[in-house]
Structure 1
Amino acid sequence: MGVEWRGQGRGGVRVPGWPQGRCPPGAAMAAAPRGAAEPRQSPEQRRAADIIRLLTLYRPLLDAFIIDFFTEDLWAQLPPAWQPALAAATPVQLAGLLGGRGGPGAAWPLSLLAFGAAARALAFPRGCPGASPRPPCQSSGLPPLLRRHVKPKKQHEIQRLGKLLRRLSRATGCECVVDIGAGQGHLSRLLAFSLGLRVTAVESDARLVGLAQRFDQELLRELAKTRGLAHRRPPLCPLTPRAPRHVAGRLDPAAPWGEFLLHPDPPGAGPAARNPLGGPGGSEDGERVLLTGLHACGDLGPALLCHFARSPAVAAVALVGCCYMKLSSAPQQPPGYPLSASVAALPGHQLSYRAREAACHALEEYQGRLRGGGAHLRAHCYRAVLESLIRAAEPSKKHLGLQPGRKAHTLSFPQYAQLGLPLAGLDPVRVPLDSGAVGAMLEQQHKVVAFYTLGQLLAPVVETLILLDRLLYLREQGFYCALVPLFNPRFSPRNFVLVAARTPLATALAGLAKDSEDGHSSEDEDVEEAEFPREGQSPQ
């Protein structure tokens, strides 16, 4: 595992662009005029600028919805030189294009290879290249009592994030953690019962707060039972009977830190929560705190960063984002994206809903599907054909959120359509499902798969831009910060944690890469130091 990259910015990546006449208006705006004097940029700023240049060149591909493949004739919008090569590509060859390993059976256009190389070079390395494609059934690093009600994916995440927060606690001297968006409290229980930290869990859904408290009580009862047996069989990993404190409330991104909680959801579920920090000076005991959010959805992530930036009560923050398509954008204040002045100043930095939604995709999972082949690859073609039928019958019905079934790929297309058309308010009897036109579209499944693969190639680049924006926002204010690919991306696609503090992070991150899944830790191992503020900057 690495920490935030250094020195990988590329000054003006140049890749062959979209065909002349199809490049969107303003595509050249992202590049500075030749001969113009440019201010000195950090590697992060250069990388962000290069990403925007790439995304601007391929904006039609990035903003395309795969369900419009037939209705908008998306294949014809690809560069003509790409079409024959992609049409002849096997799923395994497309997987190689995503991963940068293995070549096509025949020579591919250099412009296509350059596009793939640029996308892979600009995206942050996601780590764990040879790791298992699936999480273990149970995480051996967690005490058995903390595995209850927790899926293997979540076990992996809370174990890894818990280790990082323990390191931050030791480095900053803070033993109080505020877990925002705590859900059912799985991370909060690990931090409190296993690591002995004082935890306040904040969750907007009052129902989940009640469920988390019930799980806490179950664990406390089990601990009371095991204490009576401890003299005969000491526990392998003793837990402390210290439950987290749960608070129902929503984070207000615009409010002062001392008033940051709103009423919980749904309205009327309870009174407004009292601020768990007690005011600008720290927690109720007057201590500073660590702030964390595991897969903070949409604007919740930027809100956490904003509160950290303006509150001395927070010593450090560890954030894993999620659901980028729910980010607000300017002119809303404060926007979820862009946060930094550096990215906001770059022409063409805007990201459409489709682009932000693509950034949430699991590239590693789709690469595995391509290598495995099989019926799973039918799904996008089926949905695109269904969209064509719906639009032909009712032109006003577009992009409906239809879910014919989780295992739709196991059906024949007529079976799939008979489930999907009623969801669109259409009678399957009145829609021809066995026509020659439908058959011709179904025969183009390989083209749908190829087009979707190109979009997947850009997904990590978009996520990298969003993460860079957050990193630069913190860097502009002088904080120490790093991006760490903490989770295995094969089963936890949003695997980057953004760590920021008011003091250097080297101590907290040293040895993190050596931590193993079985719970053992290499406290004395060093890893590459995180990217810190430039000389002359000091944390606030």
Structure 2
Amino acid sequence: MYSQEETLRSTIDKSLKVIRLYDWLLNLYVLDFFVDNHWTKLPLSWQECFQNITPQDLGNILSEVPTKHVLPLSFISLIKAVKSLSLPRDKISNKNKIGLLLSEDICNGHPRLKNLFLKHVKLKKRHEICLMSKVVSGVAVESKCDAVVDFGSGLGHLVRVLAYNNNLYAAGIECQSQLTEEARSVQLVHAYRAALERILVDYDPKLKHAPVRNIKHSDTMTFQQYSTQALSRLNIPLPACFARGEADLRQWRRVVTLYTLRLALAPLVETVILLDRVLYILEHGLSCEIHPVFDPKLSPRNHIIVGKRL
């Protein structure tokens, strides 16, 4: 009979063996897709299978929807290994009901505070706050504790719910002073940027991974418009290079396919990180459990680690 720690170490070791076999895929950087010809780094059988596949078909395959495509055995083995070794994401529905999300009183009878608590809180965040507060409150009651500290509390949504709804003394600690400003999203896992990178490197190898302007992409934006705006701060003659970029962009499906295959390994990488944290807690004499608390459709990173001092 293996102990909990031995079982964790064994799972981590097996997962790392799979991950190390596919280091070459995990270490690819979308910016260099055309520069380093990433498509040729895939096994030949994968190239032949996926060269004309649609993103929807690939998504169905990774979701284990039956397919008519003849898949390489090495790819099938990888997907099965990732599934068998990764932590399950199915939520424990008998303990937490999503139906309470919109109707539950989260301010303990303070009707004037309800709108304040829900203001700027999207459904995903509301879902997480509701269930997280139940977990924290349950652990506090079991531990006979009436005070909690939320490290990385952000705007303090969870702290307020714990205080008003769960009657806990709650304090939040947040080191980032700019959380009241809207975060800017930078999307460079994009075919336009990868095509632009080849133009830059062809013009001057020293410009590899050079910073360009962050451009908000739209469906109507052409590659020429994107490039002109992105490189407005650099003195580079681009018109003669646009044809090369347009040719690369005809392979946009390969960009999507390769990085979708790369993301298929993400659950296994996340599992190793989570299990390593659980193992760390166990090694320090605390009991520890890990549960998929949130709805994975709303919160894909839906596991919570609960450690208790014995």
Q: Distance in 1 between matches of 2:50 and 2:103?
A: 44
Residues 75-84 or 394-403, more deviating: 394-403
1:140 aligns with 2:108: no
Q: 1:107 aligns with which of 70, 74, 81?
A: 70
CA contact (8 A) 1:414 1:433 kept: no
Aligned residue pair count: 291
Match of 2:290 in 1: 483
Match of 1:320 in 2: none
Describe the shift of the 1:409–1:400 C-alpha distance in structure 2 as closer, same or farther (beyond 3 A): farther
Amino acid in structure 2 at the alignment position of 1:184? L
SS in 1 for 2:295: coil
Q: Distance in 2 between matches of 1:384 and 1:164?
A: 43
CA contact (8 A) 2:91 2:293 kept: no
1:126 aligns with 2:54: no
Match of 1:398 in 2: 208
Match of 2:36 in 1: 72
1:451 aligns with 2:258: yes
Match of 2:161 in 1: 190
Cα drift, residue 396 of structure 1: 1.7
Match of 2:56 in 1: 92
- CA deviation vs aligned residue, 1:122-179 (integer Å, no higher than 9, x gap): 221222599xxxx99x833345232124233222211110011111111111010111
CA contact (8 A) 2:196 2:227 kept: yes
- CA deviation vs aligned residue, 1:171-210 (integer Å, no higher than 9, x gap): 11101011112222111111111211011222224576xx
* Residue pairs, 1:148-163, within 5 angstroms: 148-163=119-134
1:51 aligns with 2:15: yes
Cα drift, residue 484 of structure 1: 1.5
CA contact (8 A) 2:150 2:172 kept: yes
Amino acid in structure 1 at the alignment position of 2:47? Q
Amino acid in structure 1 at the alignment position of 2:308? A
Amino acid in structure 2 at the alignment position of 1:179? D
Q: Distance in 1 between matches of 2:281 and 2:242?
A: 57
Describe the shift of the 1:406–1:483 C-alpha distance in structure 2 as closer, same or farther (beyond 3 A): farther
Q: Distance in 2 between matches of 1:41 and 1:85?
A: 40
CA contact (8 A) 2:5 2:282 kept: no
Match of 1:203 in 2: 174
Describe the shift of the 1:498–1:92 C-alpha distance in structure 2 as closer, same or farther (beyond 3 A): same
SS in 2 for 1:490: coil
- CA deviation vs aligned residue, 1:467-494 (integer Å, no higher than 9, x gap): 1110111122232111112222333333
Cα drift, residue 433 of structure 1: 4.6
CA contact (8 A) 1:93 1:102 kept: no
Match of 1:325 in 2: none
Q: Distance in 2 between matches of 1:106 and 1:129?
A: 34
Q: 1:430 aligns with which of 215, 230, 238?
A: 238
Amino acid in structure 1 at the alignment position of 2:153? A
- Structure 2, unpaired ranges of 5+: 108-113, 181-186
- Greater percentage in helix: 2
1:442 aligns with 2:260: no
CA contact (8 A) 1:379 1:408 kept: no
Describe the shift of the 1:401–1:124 C-alpha distance in structure 2 as closer, same or farther (beyond 3 A): farther
Match of 1:492 in 2: 299
Describe the shift of the 1:158–1:129 C-alpha distance in structure 2 as closer, same or farther (beyond 3 A): closer
Q: Distance in 1 between matches of 2:6 and 2:173?
A: 36
Describe the shift of the 1:183–1:152 C-alpha distance in structure 2 as closer, same or farther (beyond 3 A): same
- CA deviation vs aligned residue, 1:326-355 (integer Å, no higher than 9, x gap): xxxxxxxxxxxxxxxxxxxxxxxxxxxxxx
Describe the shift of the 1:106–1:183 C-alpha distance in structure 2 as closer, same or farther (beyond 3 A): closer
Q: 1:117 aligns with which of 80, 93, 97?
A: 80
Match of 2:274 in 1: 467
Amino acid in structure 1 at the alignment position of 2:225? Q
Q: Distance in 2 between matches of 1:65 and 1:471?
A: 30
Q: Distance in 2 between matches of 1:391 and 1:190?
A: 52
Q: Distance in 2 between matches of 1:393 and 1:156?
A: 49
Amino acid in structure 2 at the alignment position of 1:85? C
Q: What is the identity percentage for the equivalent residue pairs of Structure 1 and Structure 2?
A: 33
Describe the shift of the 1:65–1:205 C-alpha distance in structure 2 as closer, same or farther (beyond 3 A): closer
Amino acid in structure 2 at the alignment position of 1:190? V
Q: Distance in 2 between matches of 1:51 and 1:202?
A: 34
TM-score, length-scaled by structure 1? 0.50
- Structure 1, unpaired ranges of 5+: 1-6, 10-38, 212-375, 503-538
Q: Which has the higher contact order (CA 8 A, sep 6+)?
A: 2
Cα drift, residue 409 of structure 1: 4.5
Q: Distance in 2 between matches of 1:401 and 1:191?
A: 43
* Residue pairs, 1:401-416, within 5 angstroms: 402=212, 404-416=214-226
SS in 2 for 1:405: coil
